[in-house]
Amino acid sequence: MTEKYVYNFNEGDKDMRSLLGGKGANLAEMTNMGINVPYGFTVTTEACARFYEEDKKLWNDLNDEITSHIKDLEEHNKKTFGSTEDPLLVSVRSGAPISMPGMMDTILNLGLNDDAVIGLSKKTNNERFAYDSYRRFIQMFADVAMGINKNNFEKVLSAKKAEKNVEEDTALDANDLKDVVESYKKVYKEIQGEDFPQDPRDQLDKAITAVFASWNNERAILYRRLNDIDDSMGTAVNVQSMVFGNMGDNSGTGVAFSRNPATGENKLFGEYLMNAQGEDVVAGVRTPKEIATLKDSMPDVYKQFHDTSEKLEQHYKDMQDMEFTIQEGKLFLLQTRNGKRTAQAAVKVAVDLVHEGLLDEKEAILRVDAKDLDGILHPTLSEKSKKENQPVAKGLAASPGAAVGYIAFTAKEAKDRAAKGINVILVREETSPEDLEGMVSASGILTARGGMTSHAAVVARGMGKCCVSGAHDIYVDEIERFVRIDGKKYTDKDTISIDGSTGNIYIGSLETENPKLEGDFGEFMGWVDKYRDIKVRTNADTPHDAKQALEFGAEGIGLCRTEHMFFKADRIFQVRKMILAHNSETRKEALDKILPMQEDDFYQIYSLMGERPVTVRLLDPPLHEFLPRGQEEIRTLAEDLNMEISEVKKRILDLEEVNPMLGFRGLRLGVRYPEISKMQARAIIQAAMHCHEDGIKVVPEIMIPLSSDVKELAYVKSKVREEIEKVFEEKGKKIDYLLGTMIEIPRAAITADEIGEITDFFSFGTNDLTQMTFGLSRDDAGKFLGLYLDKDIFAKDPFQVLDQKGVGFLVETAVERGKKANPNLHLGICGEHGGEPTTVKYLYNVGLDYVSCSPYRVPIAKLAAAQEAIEHPRNK
Ligand code: PEP
Ligand code: MG
């Protein structure tokens, strides 16, 4: 039996997306639901895979299969390919299993040639329409199938409009368009070196080939990499009978969402253009009208569309993104899919769908992509700054949030400046898929053209990035590199602020504020908390961070790095004295000065966190990092220590290390200078006792970093214990506390059975554990890791997404061995990976008790954890 590579729309359904692609599967589903969908067929993703095996050629059996489906289509429509009486015209569209901007998208009106255009004109009695369709087809075919820049054609069209002294394409008559077609064919021949193909079947084969080939164009590959999409999936091709939105004033075409994709509001949201074809809406050539106005102009069509939208929502149980065409007053659906949305809309839609009885809470939790949640947690312009500053221009509120930064005019510039840590706003006339990388790097995107469904708007929403599009009052000169706003010129030296929730544009850097997490978000996170069964803590070093994390729902602090406390201006001097001191007496003097300050730090954090667990880590970085570099600072220090300047300099040199990350840091400091660990332990315990006096029963968790061996840990631990006992004695009472360590060195993981025996908890420091497992410096890896990703040597940056095979093996080993030695061992992670959704899911299954991450990632980690608990609950 020969393999089947082509399916008619009535042969598929929505669950066949891996074979038919998303578009094909949904066209099939809608056909089966009885929705008015122009008939057609889908060439499968398996055909795409074979296309690559066949050296990027369509093979004989496939050609035969396509021929037989064209016959079906001809019979179904009672039209013939290439006919001079009533020609069959089709659209050709790509459709991967996952929607993917960057690939070849659409060719409309395929099948037109010098004969068929006469047939179309006769059949419709509309010559203007026929030639308008033909010129569109030539341009689109040339652009998307053959890679000829569409500007070559647009120039011709503009010249014709100028010649006739008209503004809109629709003002050109049939004869004008005939001229345009002739010129287009000439342009095609000049550039392509051959005549525009006249055989419809040849046109179709070229189009299908182009779709398959576009799967591997650079933009598609980049998009897949950014979105973790499997390269081997391939794309399907949909060939669908044409319906025409450009048949006159009772025809039109549009794109609409069943709810607002920016806010989630339950109201049809979209745009349409009368007497136009699909690409006019997306390209932003003419300004589309809001869907609500269709209610007045074509009430029946509006009602039909509204009802269809509801029917599809009920069926898919999700917000839909639909394309439609009205041909002479009759509505056709050309596509439906679950709509891309901002995180804010995702949460609102999920919550509303539960209230509407379409989803249960667990399903709603699975509907929101954890990493997208970031989009809600980002700042907006503060009310104060909005009051104090007047917007200078306004565009469409395409993707919410606020962004402040320097103006960048190209994607490359945005990328380069962002890499240097500069916040930039990518300001473009209009974005195209080539801008993708720049959009990723920019803090926000501003475009002068394009509607709510333009490339910039759709992509920005997908990324959860602030975007203002279609700001018609601004003029962007990408060549001269300036933007004129409100009569003034601004360059890359200027900063602007944009508000993606209102569309407002401001000059200068406005103040931003953090989001309020109530309402739908609060309700949603309530469900997340209900189904989640792993704790989520935060990494916070200051009361400010801790407060932020509490607002985001942190359940404790998994890592409080104390070194930041040492750097504060009023104490660094004492810290330096302590490090440089000749003898333990002088060192003790300095430490005595630091002690009350540290105690106060801890007291403040404990008071804020109440009885939630707080893990404080003893000093970790190499002492050298604290030492002064400036002459003046060295001189003052020498004076105070009663030392020669040269002596101080020598001490500084002595402390310098070739490999500080593998050197004198972590608990090694405690081995050399136990009095530092003791001072910190005392500060922690005294602060906790102070809280007990206030009625807050804090159980402090003291964490010793960087152990590699049970004996070194035992040594530091004994010093810490000794000091704590001393505090208890002095105070005449005791409190409970926990003493644990970080697992950051492979040897610690391997010897976790020994280490576990003398500790209450492990916290996996996966930043260092990754560094040491790969032998890859966490500070320098960025210089070449990009190369590894480009060359596909690494699929992911292991400092962001935990390497489960290697680093994960060590974590699992440590968990197993540690638990065997100490069944009560408490387990957590505090490396950066603790807020990364796939890592959280993995570590949940490894059996950790909690993850800890930066404050902004707390809701993300919570959601990922809840999703895993729902989808793959672990054994309790
Ligand atoms: C770690 O190594 O993962 C860790 C949390 O510690 P730091 O990043 O401070 O080295
Ligand atoms: Mg570390």
DSSP 177-201: HHHHHHHHHHHHHHHHSSPPP--HH
Q: Which of 69, 378, 455, 826 is flagged as catalytic? A: 455
Q: Which of 654-663, 677-686, 734-743 has the lowest mean pLDDT?
A: 654-663
Choice from 537, 561, 708 to test ligand 1 binding pocket (greatest atom count within 8 A of CB): 561
Looking at residue 344, its pLDDT comes to 85
Whether the pLDDT of residue 546 is over 60: the answer is: yes
466 annotated active-site? no
Q: What is the mean pLDDT of residues 18-43?
A: 97
Distance from C-alpha of 112 to C-alpha of 199, rounded to nearest angstrom: 9
Looking at residue 380, its pLDDT comes to 85
Looking at residue 2, its pLDDT comes to 64
Looking at residue 723, its pLDDT comes to 98
Distance from C-alpha of 379 to C-alpha of 848, rounded to nearest angstrom: 31
Is residue 666 lining ligand 1, measured as CB closer than 6 Å? no
Q: What is the mean pLDDT of residues 713-726?
A: 98
Q: Which of 467, 830, 833, 853 is flagged as catalytic? A: 830
CB distance 811 to 817 below 8 Å: no
Q: Name the residue with tokens 């221009």.
A: 393
Distance from C-alpha of 675 to C-alpha of 581, rounded to nearest angstrom: 13
Is residue 246 lining ligand 1, measured as CB closer than 6 Å? no
**Would you put residue 472 in left (φ > 0), alpha (ψ -120 to 50) or beta?**
alpha
Is residue 833 lining ligand 1, measured as CB closer than 6 Å? no
Tell whether 152 is in a known binding site: no
- Residue closest via CA to ligand 1's atom 4 equals 765
The closest-lying atom of ligand 1 relative to the alpha carbon of residue 559 is 5
Is residue 831 lining ligand 1, measured as CB closer than 6 Å? yes
pLDDT tens digits, one per residue of 576-600: 888 888 788 888 889 999 999 999 9
CB distance 111 to 225 below 8 Å: no
The closest-lying atom of ligand 1 relative to the alpha carbon of residue 768 is 2
Interior/surface letters 808-840, b for 16+ CB within 10 angstroms, e for the rest: bebbbbbbebbbeebeebbbbbbbbbbbbbbbb
Looking at residue 642, its pLDDT comes to 86
> Structural domains in the chain?
6-241 (3.30.1490.20), 252-338 (3.30.470.20), 379-513 (3.50.30.10), 532-622+657-871 (3.20.20.60)
Whether the pLDDT of residue 517 is over 80: the answer is: no
* Distance of CA 440 from the midpoint of ligand 1 (Å): 27
- Residue closest via CA to ligand 1's atom 6 equals 765
Looking at residue 99, its pLDDT comes to 81
Neighbours of 172 (CB within 10 A): 21
Burial of 708 (0-12, 13-18, 19+ CB in 10 A): buried
3-class DSSP state of 103? strand
* Distance of CA 768 from the midpoint of ligand 2 (Å): 5
Tell whether 768 is in a known binding site: yes
Looking at residue 665, its pLDDT comes to 93
Mean pLDDT taken over the chain: 92
Distance from C-alpha of 676 to C-alpha of 742, rounded to nearest angstrom: 18
Is residue 768 lining ligand 1, measured as CB closer than 6 Å? yes
Neighbours of 709 (CB within 10 A): 15
Question: Pairing state of beta strands 269-274 and 289-290?
Answer: antiparallel
Looking at residue 453, its pLDDT comes to 63
Q: In angstroms, how far is CA 107 from the centroid of its own chain?
A: 29
Q: Which of 153-157, 398-402, 726-730 has the lowest mean pLDDT?
A: 398-402
Looking at residue 720, its pLDDT comes to 98
Question: What percentage of the chain exceeds 90 in pLDDT?
Answer: 70
Instruction: Give the number of the ligand closest to the Cα of residue 811.
Output: 1
Confidence of residue 65 (pLDDT cuts 50, 70, 90): very high
CB distance 98 to 229 below 8 Å: yes
Is residue 541 lining ligand 1, measured as CB closer than 6 Å? no
Looking at residue 704, its pLDDT comes to 98
872 annotated active-site? no
Whether the pLDDT of residue 558 is over 70: the answer is: yes
Looking at residue 464, its pLDDT comes to 65
3-class DSSP state of 60? helix
Confidence of residue 641 (pLDDT cuts 50, 70, 90): confident
CB distance 611 to 696 below 8 Å: yes
Is residue 620 lining ligand 1, measured as CB closer than 6 Å? yes
